[in-house]
Structure 1
């Protein structure tokens, strides 16, 4: 039987990312009991203190153990902190050190959503792939440049160090762990009980590209705004470099440093974000949308759209268009 420690961090946290995995792992034990089999997991909340309130006192969680107690665990689950992530890391220094010690003693570690910030703070993910919520990806990349961020993925498995994508996609990682520790059949059963899409591996369709402007390079910011205002036009890198009053080489270097994208990648992402919005709200067909954002090669547009979003333009429209929502409501 595996011992699972679901952490109760200092500061505020997304309570659902604590209660959710506890519920799923406990459900596995219940299902096994119904089959006349022993439980697979001993699931406990572990915190800095025995009791912790969240969401301005609305929720109170009671930890079975504190990190001061002498015990070993098989799997550490790191939930998502809520609020200022730099502050969350600072508040949980003792918890981060404890995670590192448990891993050195043989425990596996899994972060859920923005819990990746606490996992990365251990140093265990340096040089490894890690996922997190796409909203936190730019800050994560800045804070942890030694970690290979894969913001499009829902699950990463780096030899017993796991991470998951944003929000409720952590449930996909929990099912992945159920399959690994128990069986595929049990994971499928839990997916049906909780109505989770067990096959999902990408969070790309959910990403909203907001333009990475959280930097102080004003010439680069000026060109970003130009791209966003003229995305349907043919924009050259030389034109943007001239707008920034920089040499092309210097401009490209500063643009990549400020935004984490090359200039070409940024232009593509702005165009595809505009296409997504049009597919969601307009009655234009895919070719009309393609032309409206400055593409004329149908194959290239569809390939790029799928590479960035994970789905085809038609599949995206079927899933997110207002027309589709209206049909469901009818």
Structure 2
């Protein structure tokens, strides 16, 4: 397999600290992401920058202080992370964070990757970015989402959730989910080997397994191929169908070789790899959220042979389905 050239310029990660944020996520993300890219197998480095609407040092609820490095008037970042938000019970989020929301919207319009850590999803919901999507956040925010953001499907059991825009809007749940988000970003942009190195260095993530179960498929690229986009939409609801690649070819109206070439060019995946990735992602969600037997999950996502499913799952995720389930149960309980 040919090696990918290592880019020379780092990706800028703007870590947005709000007046209601704590110190753990902003400084923890800054330290971990700042280390990413230094390993010998890293695909590229990351450049974290602590950002806030006001650049002066401000105290947090914990009694410690946050000192931003940059205000909101700087250039656009490649990646944005909205840190946790602490709201006293009964306080409404309505009308808050207008400058920060406008700043986040500028990044969304520029197709940056926008993420939230823990209760930072509240800002994204207040911005209207999560309407009609699923979102993870701290479980304590369930009532707030129900009362203020009824258009958002709140998923408190999720650690990391793709909240739409072709994988460019990511929410996470739990007070320490910023660690999972950091490893996800490193795995996505710096490579699995670098994410493994960082996980071992900071003693976070799946230290007992070489590869990282949270490293999900690269999300579909934005492209202008209408026929391929139609097939992708169809597959989202039919990935468990028998012989899905043949059905995709037929639906596209193209010759098989033409379809496979155009599909790879548009998505970055060969059709069979794309199908497998979607099936495994669904299996991961079922393992995280339900008690179904692994054999039943295999059938539900399109694999009649549980042995083949287990082998494929381990190859793509790095652990067995049973290990993945155990890890996520323990993490959710924690």
Contact 1:51 1:60 in 2 (8 A): no
Say if 2:12 is the partner of 1:3.
Answer: yes
Question: Mind listing any 5+ residue stretches in structure 2 that lack a counterpart?
Answer: 1-9, 207-211, 215-324
Say if 2:33 is the partner of 1:25.
Answer: yes
Aligned to 2:70: 65
Aligned to 1:100: 105
Distance in 2 (CA, whole Å) between partners of 1:91 and 1:119 is: 11
* 1:70 to partner: Cα distance: 4.3
Deviations 1:112-162 (A, max 9, x none): 001010111111111111100111122222211111211111001232100
Distance in 1 (CA, whole Å) between partners of 2:156 and 2:41 is: 41
Deviations 1:217-254 (A, max 9, x none): xxxxxxxxxxxxxxxxxxxxxxxxxxxxxxxxxxxxxx
Distance in 2 (CA, whole Å) between partners of 1:152 and 1:128 is: 15
| Mapping of residues 22-61 of structure 1, within 5 Å | 22-29=30-37, 31-32=38-39, 35=40, 40-55=45-60, 58-61=63-66
Distance in 1 (CA, whole Å) between partners of 2:176 and 2:138 is: 10
Say if 2:138 is the partner of 1:122.
Answer: no
Distance in 1 (CA, whole Å) between partners of 2:66 and 2:97 is: 17
Contact 1:25 1:178 in 2 (8 A): yes
Distance in 2 (CA, whole Å) between partners of 1:90 and 1:38 is: 41
Question: TM-score, normalised on structure 1?
Answer: 0.56
Aligned to 1:152: 157
Distance in 2 (CA, whole Å) between partners of 1:36 and 1:182 is: 8
Match of 1:182 among 179, 190, 194: 190
Contact 1:5 1:43 in 2 (8 A): yes
Distance in 1 (CA, whole Å) between partners of 2:94 and 2:194 is: 35
Question: Mind listing any 5+ residue stretches in structure 1 that lack a counterpart?
Answer: 202-309, 321-330
Deviations 1:19-76 (A, max 9, x none): 11111101114x33xx397961121111111123223583332222211x24111111
Deviations 1:82-135 (A, max 9, x none): 233745564412101210111111211110001010111111111111100111
| Count of aligned pairs between the two proteins | 203
SS in 1 for 2:36: helix
User: Which structure shows the bigger proportion of residues in helix conformation?
Assistant: 1
Aligned to 1:137: 142
| Mapping of residues 167-316 of structure 1, within 5 Å | 167-198=175-206
Contact 1:172 1:200 in 2 (8 A): no
Contact 1:15 1:54 in 2 (8 A): no
Larger Rg: 1
Distance in 1 (CA, whole Å) between partners of 2:127 and 2:69 is: 23
Distance in 1 (CA, whole Å) between partners of 2:78 and 2:86 is: 26
Aligned to 1:255: none
Aligned to 2:169: 161
Root-mean-square deviation (Å): 2.8
SS in 1 for 2:201: helix
Distance in 1 (CA, whole Å) between partners of 2:112 and 2:120 is: 17
